Amino acid sequence: MNGKSGMMGGGRIPNLKNPDPAQHVTGITHCRDTYRVTTADGKTRHFWERNLRLKTDSSKDGPQSGTPALLPAGMMGDRADVIFAEPAEISKMIEARC
C-alpha cells in the first residue's frame, strides 16, 4: 500500500487544498459529550464525540495550514472527519465551551 488507498472501498482521497465553504472548518467547540463544528458557510453541525474523528494529512493533497476540512464519514450523516494539516493544529482549534 502506498498510504493513500487505506479508505474502505478504495475511494480516492480528495484534494483539500481549497475546500468548499461547507467543508472549510472555521471553529470547533467541545461541551460535555458533543463537538460543534462551524464551517465557512456559517453552519454549525453537532457530533457526539465518538462520531467525530480528528485526522491529519500532510500530503500534497492535504489541507493548507490553518484551513482544516470537514468530510462526511459514515452512511447516516452522523459521523465526520476533520482533517488538519498537522497535529499541532488540533488542540489550537478546539475550544472548551458550553
Residues 46, 95: Cα–Cα separation, whole Å = 14
Q: Is residue 81 part of a domain?
A: yes
Q: In total, how many domains does the chain have? A: 1
Whole-number pLDDT of residue 84: 98
Structural domain for 83, as ranges: 19-96
Residues 83, 97: Cα–Cα separation, whole Å = 21
Q: Is residue 1 part of a domain?
A: no
Enter the C-alpha cell of residue 23. Answer: 467543508
Q: Is residue 70 part of a domain?
A: yes
Q: Is residue 14 part of a domain?
A: no
Residues 45, 2 contacting (CB under 8 angstroms): no
Output the tens digit of pLDDT for each of the chain's 98 residues: 344 444 444 566 788 999 999 999 999 999 999 999 999 999 999 999 999 999 999 999 999 999 999 999 987 778 999 999 999 999 999 999 99
